Amino acid sequence: MNRYDLDARVAIITGGGQGIGLTVAERMLDSGASVSIWDRDQGLLDGLTAKYGTGGKVQCLNVDIGALASVEAGTAAVMNRFGKIDILINNAAIVGPNAVTWEYPPQDFMEVVHIGLNGTFFVSRAVVPHLIAQNYGRIVNVASVAGKEGNPGAPAYSAMKAGVIALTKSLGKELAKYDIGVNCVTPAVARTTLAMSQDPEFVKMILAKVPRGRMLELTEAAAMICFLASAENSFTTGGVFDLSGGRATY
């Protein structure tokens, strides 16, 4: 496993208490970065605090990305602790229930879109001014192949992730005059807690669409995300990087 040059970098990772977010945090720590792990599950945060302590390169914050005030407080806490922000990984989202569009619970639809899309906007809105001020930064948004192709039975999640892709492209263009790259990745199904909480038949259906014939490994996602978050990724912005195992058609 190669080591990315993230020495002295400070990263915020939303939804970092488990799954892809935590795997990215661990890979970044191994590559020299300090990380602020944001999650709204205090139990997960307590476990990470017990593992890493409170005075080192790991900060664990209870942040609800769906609440702007919580996001702004979290951003201030990172600045107070580390003095800067270099990297933002917008990973937090919820998947919602599995149902066809005309039977989908309206409140669930609004919650999925609010957390995954509005939350990504809130965090970006709070963090980007700090990146502009230092004329450097890397933002990686975790979208999904569902945002490219749409998954039947997951209209809210598909629409939300399509919005994340479009937001990535918009923000990438807005920040192109600075040394700030904004890109996203589009994973296929991975063995995360959220993914495996869905209907088993739905998981079987989307897995059958993957030519690789297996789920995405969390370490595979972390490898691509960490490269996109490094200074070595110095030209591409507004890009969509495929992690679908061959499923994506564009």
User: Of 74, 26, 3, which is closest to residue 218 (Cα–Cα)?
Assistant: 26
Is residue 195 within 8 A of residue 203, CB to CB? The reply is: yes
Per-position DSSP letters for 181-208, written without gaps between them: EEEEEEE--BS-HHHHTS-HHHHHHHHH
The first and second tokens of residue 216, run together, are: 């995405």
How far apart, in whole angstroms, are the C-alpha atoms of residue 41 and residue 62? 7
How far apart, in whole angstroms, are the C-alpha atoms of residue 190 and residue 187? 8
3-state secondary structure 51-119: HHCCCCCEEEEECCCCCHHHHHHHHHHHHHHHCCCCEEEECCCCCCCCCCHHHCCHHHHHHHHHHHHHH
Catalytic, 52? Answer no
Sign of the torsion formed by the C-alpha atoms of 141, 147, 151 and 156: positive
What stretch of H or E contains 167?
Answer: helix 155-174
Among the listed residues 52, 157, 178, 250, the single catalytic one is 157
User: Of 101, 75, 114, which is closest to residue 153 (Cα–Cα)?
Assistant: 101
- Give catalytic residues, as residue numbers: 157
